[in-house]
Chains A and B, each alone.
Chain A
Amino acid sequence: DAKTTQPPSMDCAEGRAANLPCNHSTISGNEYVYWYRQIHSQGPQYIIHGLKNNETNEMASLIITEDRKSSTLILPHATLRDTAVYYCIVRGYNAGNMLTFGGGTRLMVKP
């Protein structure tokens, strides 16, 4: 699986958009980008995933660059409950449902 690089921590003001970057420069053409988050001591929660087109759901938007070497998760109006560790994961084609977690980004939403 491709390795991902994320900043260890970020702050965001409540009500503002949170933009979380992820670098995956060695991604292969058939590998998807997944985002999960983990609120303290809970199991990770799926947010969104995509291959090459931008994706949006009720939680977030995922912007993938044209060369697919990086992506950005956007939480449009961050709330205090969005404070969590966010993981960007590149999922290999033959990896089944195995997820390889990196260090993630600890997002702190502040009032």
Chain B
Amino acid sequence: KAGVTQTPRYLIKTRGQQVTLSCSPISGHRSVSWYQQTPGQGLQFLFEYFSETQRNKGNFPGRFSGRQFSNSRSEMNVSTLELGDSALYLCASSSSDYTEAFFGQGTRLTVV
């Protein structure tokens, strides 16, 4: 069974640009969550999607958004990039509530 796939693995963007990251969950998993990891703030929850609906949202500005498609694949978008958005962005999928989450390898975003 294929794991959680995140693309791209590495990305370099310029301040002010926008970026879209993609996450393909494990087949059959309906829940996809996104996290941001930085050295200063650690692992922080961004949002969760379940059956195409955003179910939970972390404390991030509106520049961070996401969506989930009918095949459970998810994308997150960051607009008007800032230097502080440089981070490892992780996606996790779960088959249902209160089961274990499986994480992808992440997308490392560098904003210059």
Contacts and interface: CB of A to CB of B under 8 A. Distances in A.
B100 A98 contact: no
Contacts of B102: 46
- Size bracket of the B interface: 20 to 34
Contacts of B106: 41-43
B105 A43 contact: yes
A86 to B, nearest CB: 13
- Size bracket of the A interface: 20 to 34
Question: Which DSSP category, helix, strand, loop or mixed, fits chain A's interface?
Answer: loop
B43 A44 contact: yes
B92 A43 contact: yes
Given A95-B56, A99-B33, A43 B4 contact: yes
Contact of B45 (A41, A44, A87, A99): A99
A97 B88 contact: no
A91 interface: yes
Interface in A17-71: 32, 34, 38, 41-46, 49
List the 5 shortest-distance A-B pairs measured between CB atoms, nearest first: A43-B103, A46-B100, A101-B43, A98-B56, A97-B94
Interface of B: 4, 31, 33, 35, 42-45, 48, 50, 55-56, 58, 88, 90, 92, 94, 97-106
20 contacts: A32-B98, A41-B106, A43-B90, A43-B92, A43-B106, A91-B98, A96-B50, A96-B56, A97-B48, A97-B50, A98-B45, A98-B48, A98-B56, A99-B45, A99-B92, A99-B101, A100-B45, A101-B35, A101-B44, A103-B42
